[in-house]
Structure 1
Amino acid sequence: MDRQANLQAVAALDEPTRRRLYEYVAGATAPVSRDDAAIALALPRNTAAFHLDKLAAEGLLAVVYERRTGRTGPGAGRPAKLYRRSDTEIAVSLPERQYAVAGHLLAGAITDAETTGDSPRAALEGRAHAYGKSLPGDSISEVLADQGFEPHPDGDSIALSNCPFQALAKEHASLVCTMTLHLVRGVLAGRPDTGLRAELQPTPAHCCVRLLPS
């Protein structure tokens, strides 16, 4: 889910009845029906159905269809519409952080290093570059904004106002800043006509990477 979808999903839980229904379904050991939820929360069935479907539309719940009688074949009746907690992960952070991206890159780098015999740092640089190059988007600013870097023009360069890996960078600055540098260089490699290059230029309250004229 993209950032806007995550925000909408979290906002959906601000409605008290909807949040109670979500907590009920999430705490159930098996998928629940509209009738189950309505009885458990003392709600009109139509109200329960409306909010359950809203939660499903926002990706918070998943819909499954099952015959609860255990019967199959002709005459078994229609499967019941049931709800369970979705497997979709929803996270919102302000300012935006991308710790899941860092985790995937670091885990992949360890696997690569064990397979190839390269150093974990070199493997991480390769993973970060490949990830950056694979990111969709037409412009550099669009791609970096989607990743939470908050790019903005600063003279003839582009500064990055936000570090998506800030907590990690505070503890492991050299490793994380190098990873970020190669990620941004990968973004540039996927769009070779930008006339920009990425370099480490740590600046207070900014990402350690800056885009400069090539």
Structure 2
Amino acid sequence: MTTRAVTRDEAAASVGISRKLAAFHLDKLVDAGLLRARYETPGGIRKVGRRPKVYEPTDAQISVSIPERRHELLADLLLDAVLTEGTEENAAQAAVRAAERRGRRMGEAARDETRPGRLGPERGLTVCERLLDEYGYEPVRQVPTELRLRNCPFHPLTAKAPDLVCGMNHAFLAGYVNGLEVNGVRAVLAPEPGECCVRLGPSDTDQ
């Protein structure tokens, strides 16, 4: 990988496409904020005529994961636990408490923003689906009052510390449901191969 700015000709030659096609894609990347462009003479040698356009990466950080992973959320929750929890708890307990607190705050914020009124199981799960989809859980409504989550955003870290990661995940989603004030729904641990360890389903008492 080069660390200097490159011309359209250099970019085209490196991937075996025409200069015109390279220019098209390079300018699209500039429009997207992934590259920046300027005019200069390569090597610092001044020549008569038009200076070539050169391209170099911006400071934008890009991460692509299929299926979606949310390791940064897990890291953030662990940091919260380290910074805010008291010394009377062990690390795992502190992490679970931090996850529940974060989920509850997010549920409360979503409720304040959307003002959904009283949320029964079906409407409540519809609201929950938005967060679950945003965070890569891939929610699937099997029955009107149950959501299974086809993807674990924290894999493969779950395999390394299942009790800790699944406990935090469960606490996070339970906190969100409680903060959103969804009646008749709870987050339960229900691990299935290839899926998230948590599902959202009916609570013991429907209200």
| SS of structure 2 residue aligned to 1:159 | strand
The partner residue of 2:94 within 123, 136, 141 is: 123
Task: Give the one of 54, 58, 65 matched to 1:92.
Answer: 65
Q: Output the amino acid matched with 2:24.
A: F
- The structure with higher relative contact order (CA 8 Å, sep 6+) is 2
Counterpart amino acid of residue 96 in structure 2: E
Percent of residue pairs identical: 31
**Structure 1 pair 131–31 and aligned structure 2 pair: CA distance change class (3 A):** farther
The DSSP-based 3-state class of the residue aligned with 1:166 is coil
Determine the C-alpha separation between the residues in 2 that align with 1:39 and 1:149.
Answer: 41
Match of 1:169, SS? helix
Q: Which moved more, 1:131-140 or 1:148-157?
A: 131-140
Q: How many residues align?
A: 178
Alignment of 1:128-167 (within 5 A): 128-132=99-103, 133-134=105-106, 139-155=127-143, 156-167=145-156
Decide whether the 8 Å contact of 1:126 with 1:182 is kept in 2.
Answer: yes
Q: Which runs of 5+ in 1 are unaligned?
A: 1-26, 70-79
Aligned to 2:178: 189
- Contact 1:108-1:127 at 8 Å conserved across structures: yes
The structure number with the bigger radius of gyration is 2
Match of 1:56 among 15, 26, 30: 30
Give the unaligned 5+ runs of structure 2: 43-52, 115-126
TM-score, normalised to structure 2, is: 0.65
Q: Distance in 1 between matches of 2:128 and 2:92?
A: 25
Instruction: Return the TM-score normalized by structure 1.
Output: 0.63
* Inter-CA distance 210–62: structure 2 relative to 1 (3 Å threshold): same
- 1:104 corresponding residue in structure 2: 76
Contact 2:26 2:55 in 1 (8 A): no
Contact (CA 8 Å) 1:32, 1:84: kept in 2 or not?
Answer: no
1:202 deviation in Å?
Answer: 2.8
Q: What is the alpha-carbon root mean square deviation over aligned residues?
A: 3.6
